[in-house]
Amino acid sequence: MIPSSFDYVSPTSVEQAVAALAEAGEDAKILAGGQSLLPVLRLRLSSPSTLVDLGRIGELRGVRDDGDSLVIGAMTTYYDLIRDPLVHEHALLLVEATRTVADPQIRHRGTLGGALAHADPAGDLCAPALALDATLTAVGTAGRRSIPVADFFEGYYTTTLRPDEILVDVRVPKHTGWEARYEKFNTVAEAWSIVAVAATIQVDGGTIRQARVALTNMGAVPVRARGVEDALVGNAADPELIRAAAEHAAEGTDPITDGNADAEYRSHLARVLTRRAVATAVGV
């Protein structure tokens, strides 16, 4: 199908983009990489009055070192994330997760900010951002504000971004020296996650000092597996202990039943994938 008609704006600065959104009103849509929005437009599931294309705003791209954090521009592509040495060194979990997204063509176009703002429960970047305790920066007509990632996702495809706001960057605390693994289950290569687990672990002398585990597609928003984390921290990186800790993975989750899997099977997958993710991350 062909999308319905819309006005097209291609600003060259964040200020111009915010002004364009404010002028267009709530019927406007932001175009980042377009890998989720364009199929929706073609199916006419969304018919925005105006499309604001962020592709010409250079300040929204790239990764920079900011002391104890990395600041990643919202328009940084998956491909650039995978290749960036700072991300490899200080936020390995993002690399592990991004490698699993779709195919090379999509990884060259899709963006970190677009994935987070789209808030698809089956998307592969939301849970890693949660596990890494990221903070998102939004800019709108009321100014700039910081949003902890735990407060960003509200429900299915819904975030706390206001209609006139643009996500400009993602601040990720450095997890230098932490091991990481993203375990994903799907039935078709390059498809969305039926369930996935993002795990980043700090090990010192064979003991797990810190652990962050988050789940993809185990509810309307990504969730931290707090029970798993509590069971891991302070204990040896031992296969049997990891297996026991992983049994807590589905606690506090609300998985759906659909054509891919029922809720019970998703809970089973969460436990299995958590065990695999943690064990692989720590090398046991």
For 165-208, what is each residue's pLDDT tens digit?
999 999 999 999 999 999 999 988 778 899 999 999 999 999 99
3-state class of 283 per DSSP? coil
Say whether 60-173 and 7-52 share the same fold.
no
Domain boundaries, the chain: 7-52, 60-173, 193-282
pLDDT digits 0-9 by tens, 36-73: 988 888 888 889 999 999 999 999 999 999 999 999 99
* pLDDT bucket at 275, cuts 50 / 70 / 90: very high
CA distance 42 to 38: 6
Write down the CATH superfamily of domain 193-282: CO dehydrogenase flavoprotein, C-terminal domain (3.30.390.50)
pLDDT at position 72, please? 98
Question: pTM for this structure?
Answer: 0.97
Domain 60-173 class in CATH: alpha beta
C-alpha dist (Å) from residue 59 to 19, 65, 224, 281 = 17, 15, 31, 34
3-state class of 3 per DSSP? coil
Domain 7-52 class in CATH: alpha beta
Task: Determine which helix (DSSP H) or strand (DSSP E) holds 51, and give its type and residue range.
Answer: strand 50-53
